[in-house]
Amino acid sequence: MRGLRKAYGAFEAVRGIDLDVARGEVFALLGPNGAGKTTTVEILEGYRERSAGEVDVLGYDPARQARALKQRIGIVLQSTGVERYLTVEETLDMYRGYFPDPLRTEDVLDVVGLREQRAVRVKRLSGGQQRRLDVGVGLIGNPELLFLDEPTTGFDPSARRQAWEMVRSLRALGKTVFLTTHYMDEAQYLADRVAIIARGQVVAEGPPAALMAGGDEVTSVRFRLPEGAQGWPDRVPEGVRSEDGTVVIETSTPTAVLFALTRWAVGQSLELGELTVTRPSLEDVYLRLVGADASSDGAGAGVGAASEAASRGRRRRRGGS
Amino acid sequence: MSGVRLAVRQLRYEQLAFWRNPPAAFFTFAFPLIFLVIFNLVFGNETIEVDGGSTKASTFFVAGIAALSVVNGCFTGLAMALSILRDEGVLKRVRGTPLPPWAYLAGRIGFNTLLTLLLIAIVVAVGALFYDVDVPTSTMPAFLVTVVVGAATFAALAFAVSGFVPNADAAPAVVNGVVLPLLFISDVFIRADSAPGWLNGVAAFFPVVHLSSALQVAFNPFETGSGFEPGALLVMAVWGVFGVVVALRFFSWEPRR
């Protein structure tokens, strides 16, 4: 995808996006609500025409060769959208008939874990089960490329775990997965590569680990200083001390800091309560990139809260080093 | 699989889903029968003047309720179903598969047309069994052709009007608001003989009265010809083409946001 643009009247939802997704990888497009994620994906799926730019999906132009393309992709939309009075099995069979070279209904029932619910009508499924049926409908045509648009929005934690395991099993099947989400942990857990977009432009791209290493994020060492502690270890920054005695030290050399800190504590026979070491998460990267960007734009409440968290994080870091 | 086979296959799934919602299915069939029973209770003993003589009022009612069934099944029912399917994202999802859009829509229209034919068959049968209605034989081809032309016309108009329905909650109000007044001035329930001329003029502009009058002619026991009403069929066909044109421009596969 090169220089992709989409304008709705005077509003440009997508403002020049370049992306490459390799076969067999799980790619996540991350961004806050209104960043242009869904617009981008719907252009790739053939639902919307682009205003400018080049798009190539499996060798097809989705705007001109929609039918040929749709035989080889699977689409899982945000909303469920299947006939509520058919059973799980009937639904899969119905969609199966639209494709030239589909998977077997039995196999898809296994992949999405709905074998026991095969004779249940869609309207009687739980929310998580309906979402898994959605993925099943997306898979039934044996697609080379599967689009998942916010697959776990509104899920409880255990349903999210199940959905994640299912996406991982798709990769094992050799499918390319194009995922959109606004959950950082989801992208971190599932994706081989991530692109973060905000206000219609890519602000960061790469494997989750590289994105986390690339920023100025540092590791946090957190503990509670016990009563009667004397002095302070050498070569350890003071960190930020809160009223309840919790200390947070942010450092780019956590090994040295931990060594000095624990040697000092053991020497005084102190036990550091609630000692934890936290690596920066993709969320920190994301909030830095997206939060700051969105707040300067005066965007909606959710994004505003995110940017507030990001600026809190910056203040904390400044205090700590 | 060819498009036609896909359409037929789609029709089978549509009817499968239809029967899975028994209350909806029950009232779809009960609705015209309730009208038939009520009209016959109220006006059953009267006679009515038609071309060539006078006949039982129940014969008039059967033709009128056949027209009602066409409008109800292919316009009201289809427009509401399309609004719901669109709001639920079913239409958008189908659009994301290689199924040709026309095959999906043909399956839907085909199902509503078959449902309408079944309804009319039941109404005619009940009329013949319980209300002594004369079922014509020589004009039956004209009757069936008129029903099918009407079904196609009103299905096309249902697609057109669904383009202007903002969401499924608004569908009953919008669709009934359009169609109920027309039914009352179009000789479906009552003969609008005493209505002012301008009102009949308004009715004549719209397709409903042409459907009901053509069905009346085809159901007239004194009719000596084939019973075809080319003028009425033409007006319906023009409205059908109009519906297709508007639908192509305004029909939406995706929910309004």
- With a pLDDT cut of 90, the percent of chain B lying above it is 36
Chain B CB within 8 Å of residue A124 CB: no
Residues B159-181: tens digit of each pLDDT: 999 989 988 899 989 999 989 98
Do the Cβ atoms of A220 and A278 come closer than 8 Å? yes
Q: Do A75 and B93 touch (CB under 8 A)?
A: yes
Residues A129-161: tens digit of each pLDDT: 888 899 899 999 999 999 998 888 777 788 788
Q: Is the pLDDT of residue B24 over 50?
A: yes
Tell me the nearest-neighbour CA distance from A99 into chain B, angstroms: 7
Nearest by CB to A77, which of B1, B92, B98?
B92
Check residues A197 and B157 and name the one with the higher pLDDT.
B157
Check residues B203 and A281 and name the one with the higher pLDDT.
B203
User: Residue A235 gets which letter from DSSP?
Assistant: T
Give the span between the Cα atoms of A125 and A123, in whole angstroms.
6
Kindly tell me the number of DSSP H helices and DSSP E strands found in chain A: 12, 13
Return the pLDDT at A292: 55
Measured in whole angstroms, the distance separating CA A75 from the mean position of its chain's CA atoms is: 17
Q: How many Cβ contacts (< 8 angstroms) between chains A and B?
A: 64
pTM above 0.80, yes or no: no
Grouping H, G, I as helix, E, B as strand and the rest as coil, residue A214 is helix
Return the pLDDT at A314: 38
Which uninterrupted H or E stretch holds B180?
helix B171-184
Pair of tokens at residue B211 = 């459907």
How far the first Cα of chain B sits from its last, in Å, is 35
Q: Do B98 and A75 touch (CB under 8 A)?
A: no
What b-and-e string marks burial along B14-46, b requiring 16 or more CB atoms within 10 Å of the CB? bbebbebeeeeeeebeebbeebbbebbeebeee
Q: Do A94 and B1 touch (CB under 8 A)?
A: no
Alpha-carbon Rg for chain A in angstroms: 24
Return the pLDDT at A309: 39
Chain B CB within 8 Å of residue A49 CB: no
Mean residue pLDDT of chain B comes to 88
Grouping H, G, I as helix, E, B as strand and the rest as coil, residue A155 is coil
Find chain A residues with C-beta within 8 A of B17's C-beta: 83-86
Find chain B residues with C-beta within 8 A of A95's C-beta: 97
Do the Cβ atoms of B236 and B154 come closer than 8 Å? no
Residues B204-244: tens digit of each pLDDT: 899 999 999 999 888 888 888 888 889 999 999 999 999 98
Regions of chain A where pLDDT drops below 50: 294-321
Determine the residue of chain B that is closest to A45 in CA distance: B96
Return the pLDDT at B116: 92
ipTM value of the model? Answer: 0.84
Chain A CB within 8 Å of residue B168 CB: no
Tell me the nearest-neighbour CA distance from B257 into chain A, angstroms: 13
Give the span between the Cα atoms of B127 and B134, in whole angstroms.
9
Pair of tokens at residue A196 = 């973060």
Nearest to A204, CA basis, from A28, A54, A34: A28
Residues B34-66: tens digit of each pLDDT: 988 888 888 777 777 777 777 778 888 888 899
Return the pLDDT at B28: 85
Nearest to A195, CA basis, from A33, A37, A315: A37
